[in-house]
Amino acid sequence: MRKWFLAFLILPNFALAAEFKPLFDGRTLDGWKHVGEGGFLVDDGVLRTRGGMGLLYWSKQKFGNAVIRVVFRTKGKNDNSGIFIRIPLEPREAMMPVHYGYEVQIDSEPERWGEDDHHYTGSLYSFTRALAKPAKPYPEWNTMEITMKGPRTTVTVNGVTVTDFKEGDPVPPGTPQSPQRGPRPNQGYVGLQNHSGQDTVDFKEVSVKELK
């Protein structure tokens, strides 16, 4: 009786974990395509950025109502990358997703670029101000979950909400260097940015849980 009860407790947790589908298999780049400079390599079970600016995107499916879970670490305190969402078309060059999708930023020290909290890890790059700053430095891993439900996007980093945004919310005016303003689609491709040769970011999990 006791063994059956313990199994009953374990099974629901297993079922919950199984709701996330891995997009990165830990060994290959199967299902992924890259545009732009630089690239990604698979090293000891992680995706590692090299060079840039470029974008590695999941080419097999667009995602709408879904949770994208990414586990990452930055080699340096202020190394830069991003997770792109809501890209309407398969990108043919690296800057198209910047202007037609959203970049969920990875950068724990944006002030080194003369930028503010609208460019901190977990913010929608230049659109939303970070509500908190929970990112951990190397060698610790960070878990980011990006939830898309219709026109609303929420982002947590290590369980703390950093962004809660829906289309139509006020955003700062853009600059010539900012992504174009305007609405993004409710569904699109997702991708990972390799920012430059001076930035190294590792990803050991990229997975998705589709929502109704």
User: What pLDDT score was predicted for residue 16?
Assistant: 44
Single pTM value for the model = 0.90
* C-alpha gyration radius of the chain: 17
Sequence letter at residue 68: I
Q: Residue ranges of the domains in the chain?
A: 21-210
Per-chain mean pLDDT for the chain:
91
Determine what percent of the chain is predicted with pLDDT higher than 90.
82
User: What pLDDT score was predicted for residue 84?
Assistant: 98
Superfamily of domain 21-210: Exo-inulinase; domain 1 (2.60.120.560)
Q: What does the alpha-carbon distance between residue 188 and residue 183 come to, in Å, rounded to a whole number?
A: 13
3-state secondary structure of 24: coil
Tokens at 88, concatenated: 């309407």
Q: Once rounded to an integer, what is the mean pLDDT over residues 159-170?
A: 97
**Of 45, 105, 68, which is closest to residue 187 (Cα–Cα)?**
68
Read off the DSSP letter of residue 110: G
| pLDDT tens column, 187-204 | 999 999 999 999 999 999
Q: Once rounded to an integer, what is the mean pLDDT over residues 73-98?
A: 94
User: What pLDDT score was predicted for residue 14?
Assistant: 40
User: What pLDDT score was predicted for residue 38?
Assistant: 97
Neighbour count for residue 141 (Cβ, 10 Å): 15
User: What pLDDT score was predicted for residue 32?
Assistant: 98
Q: Does 173 score more than 60 pLDDT?
A: yes
| pLDDT tens column, 3-54 | 444 443 444 444 444 499 999 999 999 999 999 999 999 999 999 999 999 9
